[in-house]
């Protein structure tokens, strides 16, 4: 009974969520787009001509936003390139090169690297999150592992002045993750966009300019 009540409350909140309504109106696949939009507007992360990698991309709202920001090529298309990756399938988005697979698997990483053809990346975005078990310490380890993968990828592929934006959560591993960022990036900031629900422990970490 309690679970049904929870589901009903979630559905009610979701239907009445202003960001859900806005996403539907503006043709975005998820409300998560407004988290990226707010961070991008304050930090000026996304610019025409960039190579951008979107990790944990499905259903694709972040890639949709990035594509809109890179649009403007004469005759259609985009100025720059977008590579998206997720374990789950994603409906195609024009000008977005999608790869389905587990980012933690070397063969998937090899395929992504083959698409990059040795070119360095301007921006790595990660909205990846593990399936949560409810055990705070187990979940903290899973979150830390996913972010560590994103940081390792960024270290190998970012331009020196590039940036990495990851979804994180306040919890037992948060300080470790911030320390990891501070070890690798010259500037580190945390971001809690308005579209991120108040009751959620979700927070975004932004690292800019790799330390040599």
Tell me, yes or no, whether 177 lies in a domain: yes
Tell me, yes or no, whether 5 lies in a domain: no
Tell me, yes or no, whether 8 lies in a domain: no
Q: For residue 179, say whether it is annotated as part of any ligand binding site.
A: no
Q: Are 98 and 84 in contact (CB under 8 A)?
A: yes
Q: What string of pLDDT tens digits covers the 212 residues of the chain?
A: 455 655 666 455 666 789 999 999 999 999 999 999 999 999 999 999 999 999 999 999 999 999 999 998 888 899 999 999 999 999 999 999 999 999 889 999 999 999 999 999 999 999 998 887 888 888 889 999 999 999 999 999 999 999 999 999 988 899 999 999 999 999 999 999 999 988 888 999 999 999 97
Domain CATH code at residue 133: 3.40.50.150
The alpha carbons of the chain give a radius of gyration, in whole angstroms, of 17
Query: Residue 59: is the preceding peptide bond cis (ω within 30°)?
Result: yes
Q: Are 188 and 178 in contact (CB under 8 A)?
A: yes
Q: For residue 40, say whether it is annotated as part of any ligand binding site.
A: no
Tell me, yes or no, whether 196 lies in a domain: yes
Q: Are 136 and 172 in contact (CB under 8 A)?
A: yes
Is there a catalytic annotation at residue 211? no
Tell me, yes or no, whether 146 lies in a domain: yes
The total number of structural domains that make up the chain: 1
The residue range of the domain holding 185 is 30-210
pLDDT of res. 107: 95
Number of Cβ within a 10 Å radius of residue 51: 20
Environment class of 71 (CB within 10 Å of its CB; exposed 0-12, middle 13-18, buried 19+) = middle
Q: Closest Cα to residue 88, out of 72, 78, 99, 96? A: 99
Torsion 81-126-100-110 (CA) sign: positive
Q: For residue 10, say whether it is annotated as part of any ligand binding site.
A: no
Which of 37, 69, 167, 208 is catalytic? The answer is: 167
């Amino acid at each position: 009974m309690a679970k049904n009540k929870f589901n009903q409350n979630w559905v009610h909140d979701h239907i009445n969520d202003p960001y859900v309504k806005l996403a539907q109106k503006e043709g975005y696949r998820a409300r998560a787009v407004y988290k990226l939009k707010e961070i991008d507007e304050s930090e000026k992360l996304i610019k025409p001509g960039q190579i951008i990698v979107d990790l944990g991309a499905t259903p694709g709202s972040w890639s949709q936003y990035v594509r809109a920001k890179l649009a403007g090529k004469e005759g259609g298309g985009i100025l720059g390139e977008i590579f998206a990756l997720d374990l789950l399938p994603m409906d195609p988005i024009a000008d977005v090169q999608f790869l389905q697979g587990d980012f933690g698997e070397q063969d998937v990483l090899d395929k992504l690297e083959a698409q990059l053809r040795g070119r360095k990346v301007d921006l790595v975005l990660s909205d990846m999150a593990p399936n949560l078990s409810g055990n705070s310490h187990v979940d903290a380890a899973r979150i830390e592992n996913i972010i560590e993968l994103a940081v390792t990828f960024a270290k190998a592929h970012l331009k020196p002045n590039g940036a990495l934006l990851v979804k994180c959560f306040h919890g037992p591993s948060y300080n470790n993750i911030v320390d990891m960022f501070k070890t690798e990036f010259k500037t580190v900031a945390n971001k809690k966009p308005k579209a991120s629900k108040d009751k959620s422990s979700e927070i975004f970490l932004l690292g800019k300019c790799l330390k040599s």
